[in-house]
Amino acid sequence: MFTLSLKALLTLAPFITFSSGAILEYRKNHGSGGSTSGSNGTCTSIPQFLSCENTTEITDTCCTPTPGGLVIQTQFWDTYTGMEKSGQLLPKNNWTIHGLWPDNCDGSFESYCDFERQFDERPSPSTVNGQTVPRYSGPTVDTFITAAGRDDLLAFMKKYWVSQGSSDASFWAHEYSKHGTCFSTFDTKCYSSDTQHEDLIDFFETVTKAWLKYPTYDWLAAADIVPSNSTTYKLSDMQDALKSKTGALPYLGCHNKVLSEVWYYSHSLGPVQNLDFHAVDTTTKTTCPESGIHYYERSSASEA
């Protein structure tokens, strides 16, 4: 159930964009990408319901994510990448992108939903629904982005979608194949153009734009919660700082009292590509302790 107090609605206001007009162009033409037309590429009217809050069957799965209607923007706070020697560095004063996930409305989720779009070299899990996920060993996904003429997108991803312990491109491929292919609004059938990997490029772009909606570093800093190797923080202070910005409780992840992740949950009005997210509380219980949480500074050698 989705209810909003007026206060929460006001807090959420920057997140809510009401499109006018009956025709909602579901995906925009990105530079070299082909234009999209017809019922597969456009949502002819804005759905009047949020994902996970439909009261009748969802018939146009390109226009509302289903069954994965719980849209989660996930981020990391890493203090190193382990790949510093190859120039893989973290962005100063910024959390990094983990991904954008389509959980089912009850918090369970599917993985690797389309083996035709499997670009992950080391699928994890290695089997889904009793089937072995094929291993991929072709050209890396960054080459698809370059081929699409989207060096701008690639540069942004290199800066803010940084992997720890593996190459960035293999991490992006993992996120796309494991999670991205499970969003119904990114199904290949939703793209009528014959441009290769159009949905993949669109997914990567949507992930980066979704991340921009949740500036975790700034939101915590506004509550005087900044990386520190000499002090620790209380869970409720961190939760309150973030909840005051989105109106809902995100998931905070810790490993041995060390803060490392945040997940922002939402329901989507229209296709995920429209980025019209309505915050909802996390369905996952925090792994952080009540107090004594370390939010560590990075070593300068790990930052760009």
**Positions marked active-site:** 98, 175, 179
Site string for ligand NAG, 42-81 (x = CB under 6 A): ------------xxxxx-------x------------x--
Which of the ranges 21-29, 109-117, 214-222, 267-275 carries the binding residues for ligand NAG, by CB under 6 A?
Answer: 214-222
Q: CA-to-CA distance for 70 and 130, rounded, in angstroms?
A: 24
Residue 29 is a binding residue for ligand NAG (CB under 6 A): no
Which of the ranges 34-42, 111-119, 122-130, 213-221 carries the binding residues for ligand NAG, by CB under 6 A?
Answer: 213-221
Of 34 and 215, nearer to ligand NAG (C-beta) is 215
Closest separation between CB of residue 301 and ligand NAG, Å?
A: 8
3-state secondary structure of 73: strand
Residue 296 is a binding residue for ligand NAG (CB under 6 A): yes
Contact (CB, 8 A) for 75 and 211? yes
CA of residue 115 relative to chain centroid, distance: 21
Which of the ranges 1-9, 121-129, 192-200, 294-302 carries the binding residues for ligand NAG, by CB under 6 A?
Answer: 294-302
Q: Are strands 127-128 and 258-268 parallel, antiparallel or unpaired?
A: unpaired
Task: Give the torsion through C-alpha atoms of 256, 262, 263, 266, to 10 deg.
Answer: 140
Residue 217 is a binding residue for ligand NAG (CB under 6 A): yes
Q: Quick one: residue 173, left, alpha or beta (phi over 0 = left, psi -120 to 50 = alpha)?
A: alpha
Q: Exposed, middle or buried by CB within 10 Å (0-12, 13-18, 19+), for 14?
A: exposed
Query: Tokens standing for 56?
Result: 């009748």
Of 15 and 296, nearer to ligand NAG (C-beta) is 296
Residues near ligand NAG, by CB under 6 A: 54-58, 66, 79, 93-94, 215, 217-218, 229, 296-297, 299
